[in-house]
């Protein structure tokens, strides 16, 4: 079972205007399948094999002769020395677009190679896991909360949907073990992988909350500096994303602490020990729902014609809005609520913040507000405020 990816059109477009396109993302996000399907007439080579990676690193000129452009180079981070040779080849013909498609799972190495050698010569795309729309187009979902719970618990790694009988628990156990051994050991000299795994689980228990490094360090039993380094590893390997607070002051002093979200709800549920029978009534259900919604919104943002920026809002009066979506100077405020019938009381902070923004005279224009829960159909809560569900997310970006 294969799933067409909505971002493939964007890759084709970028290849028209840049000599190289770099596709990053977590392991198992589907990078290899995406680029091989999208650029199926290109030559292909993977550096996952140590012998090929060594040739690309130590004798890049011969490597490029054996694998001429147009070329897909998979897992390019294993040969960082290749980047400067790609630069030299690209500079021989700066008008030859789309000659190299590069993929990688470790952004530390990728971004260093890009900044040192390919700056101005490549476009960058970060691939997320499958979206709900991509899954639903192939394997239609029934309506209702039970189906949403099943989706959030299973997660959206392509392999889990390509092989429907693959047990999710076993997949995530193997994924975590492989991630610790391959990515964490290669990026960081971690004295104890057991400490790092405990750190991941502590972070999972705080998903969607403001990130206090000192508290996490205390719970894990390591230094605050170690927590900062380990967070960078999780970010660079595509496991978490930090959501920064809204930074423009329109009348109140704002907090400056980011929130941490896992990129996939299935991995989060695995780390929390949740399954289909326990998620619905769990105290973590709200955090898992926010995690899932944020991932879906990021995927939609990638194919929007305008640049989309995400923030959250919290002021010193503890008034918080889960997501602030900025497009072209217009702000859309979104609350995620794991409820079937969210009402005005669920949006009181959203309404208060929107009123503050309107009265502030700020150049930022307030747009419509949304409370995204699990109602069977969308409905108006008040003027400019709508309660909706997963199927209404595309309308959020129309405001």
384 neighbors 349 (Cβ within 8 angstroms): no
Same fold, 8-127 and 290-396: no
- Whether 379 shows a pLDDT value over 90: the answer reads yes
**φ, ψ for residue 385 (rounded to 5)?**
-130, 125
In terms of pLDDT, which residue wins out, 356 or 73? Answer: 73
Reported CATH class of domain 8-127: alpha beta
Q: What residues have CB less than 8 Å from 308, skipping those under 6 apart?
A: 301, 325, 326, 327, 397
Q: DSSP for 161-180? A: HHSTTS-HHHHHHHHHHHII
Between strands 259-262 and 385-388, the pairing is unpaired
Q: Count other Cβ atoms within 10 Å, centred on residue 389.
A: 18
At 231, is the pLDDT very low, low, confident or very high (cuts 50, 70, 90)?
Answer: very high
- Whether 370 shows a pLDDT value over 70: the answer reads yes
User: Which of 12-26, 236-250, 266-280 has the least mean pLDDT?
Assistant: 236-250
User: What is the mean pLDDT of the segment spanning 264-289?
Assistant: 97
User: Which of 104-113, 273-282, 325-334, 371-380 has the least mean pLDDT?
Assistant: 104-113
pTM: 0.93
Distances, alpha carbon 281 to alpha carbons 122, 153, 272, 276, in Å: 47, 13, 13, 10
Annotation: CATH topology of 132-245+256-284 = Arc Repressor Mutant, subunit A (1.10.10)
Report the DSSP beta bridge partners of residue 241: 261
Residue-averaged pLDDT of the chain: 91
Half-sphere exposure of 127 (CA within 13 A, CB side): 32
Distances, alpha carbon 354 to alpha carbons 257, 314, 362, in Å: 21, 12, 11
Q: What are the sequence ranges of the domains in the chain?
A: 8-127, 132-245+256-284, 290-396
- State residue 109's pLDDT score: 63
Q: What residues have CB less than 8 Å from 189, skipping those under 6 apart?
A: none
**φ, ψ for residue 73 (rounded to 5)?**
-110, 110
| The CATH number, out of the four listed (3.30.870, 3.10.20, 3.40.1350, 3.40.1000), of the domain defined by the range 290-396 | 3.40.1350
Closest CA to 302 of 138, 152, 134, 128: 128
């Amino acid at each position: 079972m294969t799933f067409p990816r909505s971002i493939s059109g964007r890759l084709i477009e970028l290849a028209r205007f840049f000599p190289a396109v770099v596709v990053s993302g977590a392991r198992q996000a589907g990078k290899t399948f995406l680029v091989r399907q999208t650029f199926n007439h290109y030559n292909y080579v993977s550096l996952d094999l140590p012998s090929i990676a060594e040739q690309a690193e130590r004798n890049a000129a011969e490597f490029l002769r054996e694998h001429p452009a147009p070329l897909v180079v998979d897992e390019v981070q294993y040969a960082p020395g290749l980047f400067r040779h790609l630069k030299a080849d690209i500079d021989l013909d700066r008008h030859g677009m789309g000659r190299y498609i590069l993929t990688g799972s470790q952004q530390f190495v990728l971004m260093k190679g890009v900044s040192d050698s390919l700056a101005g010569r490549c476009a960058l795309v970060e691939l997320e896991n499958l979206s709900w729309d991509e899954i639903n187009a192939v394997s239609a979902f029934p309506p209702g909360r039970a189906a949403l719970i099943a989706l959030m618990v299973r997660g959206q790694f392509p392999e889990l949907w390509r092989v429907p009988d693959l047990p999710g628990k076993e997949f995530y156990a193997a994924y975590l073990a492989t991630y610790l051994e391959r990515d964490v050991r290669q990026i960081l000299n971690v004295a104890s992988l057991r400490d790092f795994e405990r750190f991941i689980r502590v972070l999972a228990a705080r998903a969607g909350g403001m990130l206090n490094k000192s508290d996490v360090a205390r719970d894990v039993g390591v230094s605050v500096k170690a927590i900062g380094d380990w967070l960078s590893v999780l970010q660079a390997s595509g496991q978490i994303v930090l959501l920064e607070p809204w930074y423009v002051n329109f009348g109140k002093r704002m907090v400056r602490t980011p929130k941490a979200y896992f990129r996939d709800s299935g991995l989060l549920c695995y780390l929390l020990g949740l399954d289909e029978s326990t998620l619905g009534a769990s105290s973590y259900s709200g955090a898992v729902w926010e995690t899932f919604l944020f991932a879906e919104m990021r995927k939609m943002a990638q194919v929007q014609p305008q640049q989309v920026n995400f923030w959250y809002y919290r002021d010193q009066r503890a008034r918080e809005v889960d997501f602030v979506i900025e497009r072209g100077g217009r702000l859309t405020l979104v609350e995620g609520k794991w409820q079937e019938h969210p009402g005005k009381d669920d949006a009181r902070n959203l309404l208060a913040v929107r009123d503050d923004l309107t009265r502030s005279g700020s150049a930022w224009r307030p747009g419509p507000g949304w409370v995204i829960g699990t109602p069977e159909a969308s409905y108006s809560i008040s003027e400019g405020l709508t309660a909706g569900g997963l199927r209404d997310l595309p309308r959020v970006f129309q405001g």
